[in-house]
Amino acid sequence: MGITAINGFRYASCPAAILAAGMLFAPVAQAGEKLATGVIRDLEYGEVLFSFYQDDYFSALSKLLVARDAGRVSHHETEAELLLGGLYLSYGQHERAQEIFDRLLTDPVDSAIQDRAWFYLGKVQYQRGRFADADAAFRKVGNDLPQYLDAERRLLMSQGLMARGMFAPAAAILESWQGPDELLAYGRYNLGVALVRMNRLEEGARLLDKVGRMSGDTEEIRALRDKANLALGYAYLQEELEGQAKPVLQRVSLHGPFSNKALLGVGWVDAIQQNYRQALVPWMELKSRDLLDSAVQESLLAIPYAMGRLEAHGSAAQNYLTALDVFDTEIGRLDTAIESARSGTMIPALLEADNPQIARWYWQLERVPDTAQARYLYHLIANHELQDGLRNYRDLMALQQHLDRWAEKLEAFDDMVATRWLAYRQRALPTSTQIDAVDLDRYLARRDRLAGELEAIERSRDIAGLANARERTLWQQLQALEDHPAWQADGLDDARQTWRVLKGFLSWKLDREYKYRMWQQKRSLDGLNEALAQAVRRRDSVDVRLDSVPRELEAFSDRIAAVLPRIERMRAEVAAALMRQQNGIQVLAVRELEAQKERLATYRIQARFALATIYDRATASTD
Amino acid sequence: MTAGLGILLLCAAGAGIAEQAESLDGQVQNLKSEVLDLNRELFMLEEELLFPANTQVSVFVSMDIGEYFALDSVQLKLDGKPVSNYLYTDREVEAMYRGGVHRLYLGNLKTGSHQLVAIFTGKGPHGRDYRRGATLDFEKSIGTKFVELQISDRQIKQQPEFLVREWE
């Protein structure tokens, strides 16, 4: 129908506009959420989960990638892969996510992991708009998917089928639903709206009615209920089933975000049934509400129209004049806002007011601060396309901050490496000098000499070789006496006897103690060997360190130097993308504001035309 | 113009912008991917430069059910020197209940004997203020040292339990 004409006046809030609203997306779990972690066997895997459970996907991803590369999550290998895939998916990295799930499915894994992998693979395809592939993946999921993920799978399957125009199988999935009621309600709402748009009102109405009557008192359920009732009410209105439309529209909460359109619709039901006095009740309520809402704008024309039908032409004229005044003021404000958007001052404010935590779907205009600019900011943020732009803008801002932080850190790393160079140069020379001053090779040569001597003594069993200094002197003295030319002279028999006793005693002593002394000498030599080996090791380790430090520092310097231009390039790319994104948002904002202005201008023409008609009639009756 | 028509016109006019937005979206995803790779490299560089494996020490905090203790903060001393005093948010505590492990401290220690003292504060059984300490004497050898401060429930005594565990 599009535009309905009632006795010359056209009401604008057409059902098509209400039903043209996009598909609702349930706040379903993010990929990989609520993992059954069990016992943590790698602390760094637990650290990844710490970020993940706080929805900090970027940190979780970065930590997981580092830990995985360093082999520190080996006890959770498969879970970690699954989590990595889920994180990539949540972070919009579909190709990487798909690679991981494909890999998980080619490796032999248990059925629970396999089911999750098929589920996430389906989700990747779904998010990329490949609904048939998504469906194929979803259908491969077995019986080991946790219930909360299975509910999401069914919802996505039904939505994918709807996207392919396959409403009957989509409905069948929702009919055999076993999952949380809220998710079912989203599915039913989407299917109901889709069927109504295909002129299958009866089937669509059945589903929308179920959602519109669902119990529950959370903000989300209230909003979903209101939205279903509004859609159904306008669908009935479109089919000229006013009797059915009114009770459905009256189910919409009076103070919810959809109340304006519901009030307008209720008024139109009465007007169509020519109950103009009755129609004025909801429209007069609307009149005092925020003028940004198209329903409120329309009520300003609807009120004098009803008054005119009630023959209260004076009041009608007065109300048309008021409407013109209000439209003019609002058009003036819109001009200022458009100018502000064009000049670039509004968008930074828009970005500042942007709050990712606030879902646009239960946006409440009455909560908006009442400054001229702020009214439009919040209204714009509620726009779907702008939301997508803002999401990218937020992501880019986060990237910029990451890059800025790294650039700062790298500067500090560079300073640190320079300081280490300085410290190295200050210590390296004195250390080298000290090492050079100790002639370790000389000690080693002496040790070798000693070892050789001991070996010779052992080979020839030279018992005197192991004599101590006193014994050695005595041995030499005895030897000298024997070698003396006068030693064989007569009269020295006693002396020679004594000499023999002494030499015999000494030989006996040295011989008796030979083994013990040899063992002692060898033990000493072993000690010496150990001490010298330790000294060599230390010298070598210092040598290695002296050699390796410059290499390590150079490697660090090289890595820093290599990464700096990359950061700079990426910073420039992010800045350019931010600028493009901001421009895109600006264009959308201007278009949105201009569309509003255009709508008001149309209303203004209608008001002037109606006013002129009233004046003409008044003049004609006077004549 | 009607609101419905207005929306349709806006959609038609926005088609070009949507295409542009799509290509921009692709660029944003590529940039995100590049920054992720860069991030991984830089995290590794940072760790190798600031906390080389030979001297690295990490202290983690983990929690199980938490029925008898609601964690507020942990103070950590190493060899008598305070090195961390961390106040937990509800969101962080919730993440730990679900299996997340918080790295409370990352630093360097020389090889040899050291002492770690952790003081936990929070609400104990019956919502009473609760403060408990745990001590660990440990040897730092060559290679990274991981210590886990584990908060768990001792069912029999209906009291929290604070354990310190060394990981190799």
**How sure is the predictor about A360, in pLDDT bands with cuts at 50, 70 and 90?**
very low
Helical (H) or strand (E) element with A281: helix A276-287
Q: At residue A193, does pLDDT exceed 90? A: no
CA-to-CA separations, A98 to A81, A86, A153, A256, A484, in angstroms, rounded: 11, 10, 17, 41, 104
Predicted pLDDT of residue A553: 94
Tens of pLDDT, residues A510-565 = 999 999 999 999 999 999 999 999 988 888 888 888 888 899 999 999 999 999 99
Residue of A nearest to B46 (CA): A413
The alpha carbon of residue A447 and the mean position of all alpha carbons in its chain are separated, in whole angstroms, by: 66
Beta bridge partners of B70: B123
ipTM > 0.85?
yes
Cα separation of B74 and B130, whole Å?
12
Q: Measured between beta carbons, which residues in chain B are less than 8 angstroms from residue A589?
A: none
Q: At residue A201, does pLDDT exceed 50? A: yes
- Are A52 and B100 an interchain contact pair (Cβ–Cβ within 8 Å)? yes
Helical (H) or strand (E) element with B151: strand B145-154
Predicted pLDDT of residue B5: 29
- Are B38 and A49 an interchain contact pair (Cβ–Cβ within 8 Å)? no
Q: Measured between beta carbons, which residues in chain A are less than 8 angstroms from residue B2?
A: 2-3, 10, 12, 14, 17, 602
Q: How many interchain CB pairs under 8 A, A with B?
A: 188
Q: Which residue has the higher pLDDT, A358 or A460?
A: A460
From first CA to last CA, the distance across chain A in angstroms is 40
Domain A35-145 sits in which CATH superfamily? Tetratricopeptide repeat domain (1.25.40.10)
Minimal Cα–Cα distance from A413 to chain B, Å?
A: 8
Beta bridge partners of B56: B108
- Residue pair B132/B166 in contact (Cβ under 8 Å)? The answer is no
Is A1 at the interface with chain B, CB within 8 A? no
- Are B103 and A47 an interchain contact pair (Cβ–Cβ within 8 Å)? yes
Looking at the partner chain, which of A96, A392, A402 has a beta carbon nearest the beta carbon of B28? A392
Nearest to A264 by CA among A233, A299, A304, A293: A299
Residue A68 tokens read as 């995985």
Q: Measured between beta carbons, which residues in chain B are less than 8 angstroms from residue A58?
A: 36, 39
- Residue pair B84/B104 in contact (Cβ under 8 Å)? The answer is yes
Q: At residue A27, does pLDDT exceed 90? A: no
Q: At residue A3, does pLDDT exceed 80? A: no
Looking at the partner chain, which of A49, A93, A559 has a beta carbon nearest the beta carbon of B45? A559
CB < 8 Å from B in window 416-435 of A:
416-417
Q: At residue B77, does pLDDT exceed 90? A: yes
List, in sequence order, the alpha helices (H) in A461-513: 469-483, 493-512
- Residue pair A120/A86 in contact (Cβ under 8 Å)? The answer is yes
Domain boundaries, chain A: 35-145, 274-454+550-623
Q: At residue A41, does pLDDT exceed 60? A: yes
Determine the Cα angle at A190 with ends A185 and A193, to 5°: 120
Helical (H) or strand (E) element with A589: helix A514-622
Residue A378 tokens read as 């919040």
Helical (H) or strand (E) element with A377: helix A372-381
- Are A3 and B91 an interchain contact pair (Cβ–Cβ within 8 Å)? no
pTM: 0.71
Q: At residue A370, does pLDDT exceed 50? A: no
CA-to-CA separations, A76 to A79, A84, A251, in angstroms, rounded: 5, 12, 52
Cα separation of A214 and A188, whole Å?
11
CB-count exposure of residue A348 (10 Å: 0-12, 13-18, 19+): exposed
Looking at the partner chain, which of A402, A406, A584 has a beta carbon nearest the beta carbon of B20? A584
Residues A527-533: contacts with CB under 8 Å, at least 24 apart? A528/A447, A528/A450, A529/A447, A532/A440, A532/A443, A532/A444, A532/A447
- Are A20 and B35 an interchain contact pair (Cβ–Cβ within 8 Å)? no
Q: At residue B109, does pLDDT exceed 90? A: yes
Minimal Cα–Cα distance from A128 to chain B, Å?
A: 12
Q: At residue A131, does pLDDT exceed 50? A: yes
Cα separation of B7 and A18, whole Å?
10
Lowest mean pLDDT among A41-55, A268-282, B16-30: B16-30
The conformation of residue A504, written as its DSSP 8-state character, comes to H
Residue of B nearest to A572 (CA): B31
Is A409 at the interface with chain B, CB within 8 A? yes
- Residue pair A22/A189 in contact (Cβ under 8 Å)? The answer is no
Which of B34, B37, B45 is the mutation pick for testing A, counting most A CBs within 10 A?
Answer: B45
Q: At residue B22, does pLDDT exceed 60? A: no
- Are A577 and B24 an interchain contact pair (Cβ–Cβ within 8 Å)? yes
**How sure is the predictor about A363, in pLDDT bands with cuts at 50, 70 and 90?**
very low
Q: How many CB atoms lie within 10 A of CB A547?
A: 9
- Are B17 and A588 an interchain contact pair (Cβ–Cβ within 8 Å)? yes
Predicted pLDDT of residue A369: 44
- Are A12 and B2 an interchain contact pair (Cβ–Cβ within 8 Å)? yes
Looking at the partner chain, which of A66, A298, A556 has a beta carbon nearest the beta carbon of B40? A66
Residues 6+ apart with CB under 8 A from A552: none
Tens of pLDDT, residues B111-144 = 999 999 999 999 988 888 999 999 999 999 988 9
**How sure is the predictor about A18, in pLDDT bands with cuts at 50, 70 and 90?**
low
Nearest to B46 by CA among A594, A64, A171, A406: A406
A91 by DSSP, 3-state: which?
coil
Cα separation of A50 and B101, whole Å?
5
Minimal Cα–Cα distance from A448 to chain B, Å?
A: 34
Is A47 at the interface with chain B, CB within 8 A? yes
Residues 6+ apart with CB under 8 A from A392: A581, B21, B24, B25, B28
Q: Measured between beta carbons, which residues in chain B are less than 8 angstroms from residue A89?
A: none
Q: Measured between beta carbons, which residues in chain B are less than 8 angstroms from residue A51?
A: 95, 100
- Residue pair A404/A373 in contact (Cβ under 8 Å)? The answer is no
A486 by DSSP, 3-state: which?
helix
Residue B107 tokens read as 């630093």
Q: At residue B1, does pLDDT exceed 80? A: no
Looking at the partner chain, which of B2, B10, B29 has a beta carbon nearest the beta carbon of A591? B10
Residues 6+ apart with CB under 8 A from A586: A341, A342, A344, A346, A347
Q: What is the DSSP string of A392-457?
A: HHHHHHHHHHHHHHHHHHHHHHHHHHHHHHHHHHHHHHHHHHHHHHS-HHHHHHHHHHHHHHHHHH
A243 by DSSP, 3-state: which?
helix
Q: Measured between beta carbons, which residues in chain A are less than 8 angstroms from residue B18?
A: 385
Cα separation of B6 and A472, whole Å?
121
CA-to-CA separations, A397 to A556, A564, A579, in angstroms, rounded: 29, 19, 11
Which of B11, B30, B31, B150 is the mutation pick for testing A, counting most A CBs within 10 A?
Answer: B31
Cα separation of A23 and A189, whole Å?
9
List, in sequence order, the alpha helices (H) in A7-56: 15-19, 43-52
- Are B45 and A406 an interchain contact pair (Cβ–Cβ within 8 Å)? no
Looking at the partner chain, which of B29, B49, B146 has a beta carbon nearest the beta carbon of A556? B49
Q: How many CB atoms lie within 10 A of CB B34?
A: 16
Helical (H) or strand (E) element with A309: helix A294-309
Side by side, the strands of the sheet bearing B81-87 are B81-87, B70-78, B112-123, B129-140
Looking at the partner chain, which of A556, A577, A599 has a beta carbon nearest the beta carbon of B27? A577
CB-count exposure of residue A22 (10 Å: 0-12, 13-18, 19+): exposed
Tens of pLDDT, residues A207-245 = 999 999 998 888 888 888 999 999 999 999 988 898 999
Beta bridge partners of B138: B114
Minimal Cα–Cα distance from B113 to chain A, Å?
A: 22
**How sure is the predictor about A190, in pLDDT bands with cuts at 50, 70 and 90?**
confident
- Are B3 and A599 an interchain contact pair (Cβ–Cβ within 8 Å)? yes
CA-to-CA separations, A470 to A399, A458, A461, A477, A508, in angstroms, rounded: 86, 21, 20, 11, 16
From first CA to last CA, the distance across chain B in angstroms is 73
